[in-house]
């Protein structure tokens, strides 16, 4: 081929990748709710405080595969955003978000990302900057503030970034650019807010509880000897996903002696005739969590020994529930449950000491070794102090007193591990009953209704399901 006198044609410019789909983003949390939260945070910050939050980041599963993204709960609470990496800075006067603009090529691989303009429509920020502007803007936002609220100890790189900035501002103090001299954990400010649930949060928790209830009913109706634990787990997950929810924590489906392992998650055993199945499973939707446990017989009928233990746990559940009221405390709820369980263990000649000795020496602990409840909300084990001493608790001391709007679990149990000689005819039985409970001004309100709870209710439900 004769190429004399010819020139190579220039390659056409590579077309920029872009989406032609309409860009539409739904707020994770209604704007009105976010504005109220911003207002309360700024009230607590006053003029001299500043709050700095970082979004969560990717977590590697293996190689180049990441776990599904789950936003930092504090960041989500104030923004409703699932984007990362991002930063949020709030002072008494303004709320500023730092997040990069969408990259058209990345969007092809990872999906649409809100632009700065779209972010201002999704959450109540005054300004949005790129992450490259963070260092400069942070210095301006810290200048003249006396108190910094930031959660040290969660991410070493972020801690180094924050400490470097604080050190720089201290050294610039002679130039009149002083920064915060007091550093406080985020829990002092934000976690106290999160303890009291708004009407919006309670509505969301009821929806999540309803999905959880449907899953628990489904497995109680489906269970048969010969099934594997993972088959029930699969039914739980199917129910969650059918409602655009996911799991709040890995589901525990523990049959037989596995129920004596508190955090059993292998879910691989074949369910046998005569087994009890302890299922601890809760849905999560819009980052709001549910946490429920039920224990039921594979055959549909409790043995006399199984029923005796289940009834004792039910009585402990009721006793703890009665103490989940305004003015009481998690300690009092726990103590009420323990007293009922100790009485049962004494009546069954499992504990041989006096009632007072069993309580004082905690002789019940081989059979009941965990607490009776925890707070729940945007985290399964939700934030907030269980004991006094925080500055926003009005100088309370001792156990945190329940207030209207708090939500916690009530979850007593009894576990007779086969290795315990005292277990006798209860050996291998593990039972826990758990609900999510809202503290109100009048009486406790169980949010996780619609799931058979008592032995009679469970047997009747399974009987009707098999008819």
Taking the domains of the chain in order of start, what are their residue ranges? 31-193, 196-466
Cβ atoms 148, 166 nearer than 8 A = yes
pLDDT, tens digit, for every residue of 36-61? Answer: 999 999 999 988 999 999 999 999 99
Strand partners, 407: 438
pLDDT at 6 over 50: no
Those residues with Cβ within 8 angstroms of residue 222's Cβ, 6 or more apart along the chain or in another chain: 232, 235, 465
The predicted pLDDT at position 27 comes to: 87
The residue among 203 and 25 whose pLDDT is bigger is 203
Q: For the residues 431-443, what does the mean pLDDT come to? A: 97
Q: For the residues 126-144, what does the mean pLDDT come to? A: 95
Domains 31-193 and 196-466 share a fold: no
Please tell me whether residue 269 adopts helix, strand or coil conformation: coil
Task: Please name the fold of domain 31-193.
Answer: Creatine Amidinohydrolase; Chain A, domain 1 (3.40.350)
Tell me how crowded residue 464 is: count the other CB atoms within 10 A of its CB: 9
pLDDT at 395 over 80: no
DSSP 91: E
Flag whether the pTM goes above 0.85: yes
How far is it, in rounded angstroms, from Cα 290 to Cα 283?
5
**CATH code at 196-466:** 3.90.230.10
Maximal CA-CA distance, the chain: 109
Report helix angle 134-142 to 156-171, nearest 10: 50
Tokens encoding 154: 């969660």
Please tell me whether residue 341 adopts helix, strand or coil conformation: helix
């Amino acid at each position: 081929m004769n190429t004399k006198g010819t020139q190579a044609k220039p390659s056409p410019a590579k077309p920029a990748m872009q989406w032609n789909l309409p860009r539409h983003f739904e707020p994770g949390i209604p704007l009105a709710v976010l504005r109220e939260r911003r207002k309360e945070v700024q009230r607590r910050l006053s003029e001299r405080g500043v709050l700095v939050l970082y979004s969560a980041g990717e977590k590697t599963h293996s190689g180049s595969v990441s776990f599904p993204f789950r936003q930092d709960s504090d960041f989500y609470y104030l923004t409703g955003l699932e984007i990362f990496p991002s930063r949020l800075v709030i002072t008494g006067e303004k709320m500023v978000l730092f997040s990069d603009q969408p990259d058209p090529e990345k969007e092809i691989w990872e999906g649409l990302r809100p632009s700065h303009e779209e972010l201002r429509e999704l959450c109540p920020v005054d300004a949005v900057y790129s992450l490259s502007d963070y260092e400069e803007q942070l210095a301006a936002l810290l200048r003249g503030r006396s108190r910094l609220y930031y959660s040290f100890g969660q991410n070493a790189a972020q801690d180094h970034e924050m400490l470097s900035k604080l050190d720089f501002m201290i050294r610039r103090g002679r130039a009149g650019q002083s920064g915060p001299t007091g550093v406080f954990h985020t829990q002092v400010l934000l976690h106290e807010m999160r303890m009291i649930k708004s009407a919006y949060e309670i509505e969301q928790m009821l929806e999540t509880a309803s999905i959880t209830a449907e899953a628990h009913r489904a497995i109680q109706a489906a269970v048969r000897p010969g099934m594997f634990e993972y088959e029930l787990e699969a039914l739980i997950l199917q129910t969650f996903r059918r409602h655009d929810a996911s799991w709040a924590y890995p589901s525990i489906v523990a049959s037989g002696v596995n129920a004596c392992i508190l955090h059993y998650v292998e879910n691989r055993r074949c369910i046998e005739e005569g087994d009890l199945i302890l299922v601890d499973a809760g849905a999560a939707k819009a980052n709001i969590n549910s946490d429920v446990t039920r224990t039921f017989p594979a055959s549909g009928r409790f043995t006399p020994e199984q029923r005796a233990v289940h009834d004792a746990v039910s009585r402990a559940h009721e006793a703890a529930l009665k103490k989940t009221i305004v003015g009481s405390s998690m300690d009092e709820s726990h103590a009420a449950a323990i007293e009922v369980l100790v009485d049962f263990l004494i009546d069954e000649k499992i504990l041989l000491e006096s009632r007072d000795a069993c309580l004082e020496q905690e002789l019940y602990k081989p059979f009941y070794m965990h607490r009776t409840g925890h707070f729940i909300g945007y985290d399964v084990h939700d934030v907030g102090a269980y004991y006094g001493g925080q500055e926003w608790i009005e100088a309370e001391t001792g156990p945190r007193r329940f207030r209207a709007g708090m939500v916690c679990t009530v979850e007593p149990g009894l576990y007779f591990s086969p290795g315990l000689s005292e277990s006798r005819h209860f050996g291998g039985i593990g039972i826990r009953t758990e609900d999510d409970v809202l503290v109100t001004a009048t009486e406790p309100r169980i949010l996780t209704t619609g799931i058979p709870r008592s032995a009679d209710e469970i047997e009747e439900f399974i009987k009707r399901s098999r008819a």
